[in-house]
Amino acid sequence: MAERIKTNVLVVGGGPGGYVAAIRAGQLGLDTTLVEADRLGGTCLIRGCIPSKAIINVAGEFETMRLAADNGRHGLKLASPPTVDLAETVKWKDTVVNRLNTGVTGLLKRAKVRVVNGWAKFSDAKTCDIDAATGPVTISAEHVILATGSLPVQIPSLPFGGPIISSTEALDLEDLPKKLVVVGAGYIGLELGIAFAKLGSEVTVVEAEKQILPLYDAELVAPVKRWLDKHGVTLHLGAKARTAETGKKKTALVVETADGKTIELPADKILVTVGRKPNTEGWGLENMAVDMAGRFVKVDDQCRTSMRDVWAVGDLVGEPMLEHKAATQGEMVAEIIAGAKRRFDPVAIAAVCFTEPEIVSAGFSPAEAKAKGEDAIVGQFPFAANGRALSMEAGDNGGFVRIVARRDDHRVLGIQAVGAHVSELSAEFATVLEMGAVLEDIAGTIHVHPTLSEAVHEAALKALGHAIHI
């Protein structure tokens, strides 16, 4: 006989949208149940953001050691070239993931959230069945928060399996592929492609668009393109991956190039990173009578679906598919259920590419501002004139900070940067936009020396017409 649970709040999905919603609901005194079929933490923590950044960090360390062994570096020399044991790297990556997974488990327990491990299948909007390890469970709830996340998109002619892998498998490889072909030059493909190139793989990237990182403007992308060219990463832009040959003797990706020719790219692994799709299948969404917006669940500015007291957050409800968006929505929904008046209406959501160098963007680019009919001014400051960047050899990669502001009232409309460690500037960018700051607010804020953030100050001064250090 199935165990029956009645709960105020049922959260489906233990990723950042789901576990944050559950923790906040528990903190607010709501009887809360969370259902998760996999490990707590979701894609970002278990097989996405966190493990990929761990691998990227190791790849950077290895590259620095290799340069020190080749010709010496800033007075540092290694007697012999370094070697990489990818299996050991993956083990270390897993310790980071395990630590965070344990932390999430503890936070849910402290918030008195009931966790049920298993796959939820809804029979109606407020009832689901779980075939849990301890036996069948039926849960009925007053409020349901859907946070099922997203999955890698497959190319029908390149199904995952064997040498054709997604980012999930790429982060668990125990042997470094000698030849890696990456399909898709978005942020996932380039982050991992660059990391494997640093570790010693021969990397080739195939992209259907004519530019890498198609969602960013050419000026931001140019320093990344220069790094790829300098480090021997082969790019096939405007090209289409057709199929793969995966025989016993060889593996190769068949590609139609921009000029219509067909070529074969030999590979040990073919990494397909052409986007992600909302996880809408296999858990009974069709039985919940919620409206859809294309492939996403349709929600309003409070993350309410068309079904009363059924809510949806994160990747399930649309772009941008970012952890920080999901977590913010999850927290908001829990507070609304508890009686607060909240709505999801951010001025901007900053996005980061952990490429080499990094890119961060929040708000409008110059072209986007113009398309919106804004008469904008732009202030741009190069890291080549920033002492902190030069002191860590990050000033000569073409990086910069760029501020876009309205000409008449100097309201900041967008901020972008490309350079080493600029991801750490993203919070300032988002805060400036969310608080409705003007150029004079940034110019009047004392920025610490020596830091990369001084470039933000100087970009504002440049837009005002009186930069100091250029």
Question: Could you read off the pLDDT of 12-67 as tens digits, one per residue?
Answer: 999 999 999 999 999 999 999 999 999 999 999 999 999 999 999 999 999 999 99
* Beta bridge partner(s), residue 310: 144
Task: List the CATH number of the domain containing 377.
Answer: 3.30.390.30
Identify whether 187 is part of a domain: yes
Residue 139: band (very low, low, confident or very high) from pLDDT cuts 50, 70, 90: very high
Q: Based on the domain organization, do 96 and 130 belong to the same domain?
A: yes
Task: Give me the pLDDT at residue 428, please.
Answer: 97
Task: Report if residue 80 sits inside a domain.
Answer: no
Whether residue 79 is contained in a domain is answered as no
403: containing domain: 351-464
Shared domain for 376 and 418, answered yes or no, is: yes
Residues 115 and 184 in one domain: no
What are 425's strand-pairing partners? none
Residue 75 lies in a domain: no
Last residue of a domain, one of 224, 258, 274: 274
pLDDT at 96: 97
**Same domain membership, residue 14 and residue 139:** yes
Helices (H) and strands (E) in the chain, counts: 13, 24
Residue type at 227? W
326 and 358 share a domain? no
Whether 449 sits among the annotated catalytic residues: the reply is: yes
Q: 356 in a domain, yes or no? A: yes
**Which of 406, 408, 357, 362 is CA-nearest to residue 383?**
357
Is residue 59 one of the residues assigned to a domain? Answer: no
pLDDT given at position 300? 98
Do 360 and 239 fall within a single domain? Answer: no
CATH number at residue 288: 3.50.50.60
Q: Contact 220/226 with Cβ under 8 angstroms?
A: no
Quote the pLDDT of residue 250: 85
Examine the pLDDT at 365 and tell me if it is beyond 80. yes
Same domain assignment for residues 182 and 194: yes
3-state secondary structure of 391: helix
Average pLDDT for the chain:
96
Asked if residue 459 belongs to a domain, the reply is yes
pTM of the model: 0.94
142 and 34 assigned to the same domain: yes
Catalytic position from the list 143, 449, 457, 469: 449
Secondary structure (DSSP) of 228-269? HHHTT-EEEET-EEEEEEE-SS-EEEEEE-TTS-EEEEE-SE
204-240 pLDDT per residue, tens: 999 999 999 999 999 999 999 999 999 999 999 999 9
- Structurally, the chain folds into a number of domains equal to 3
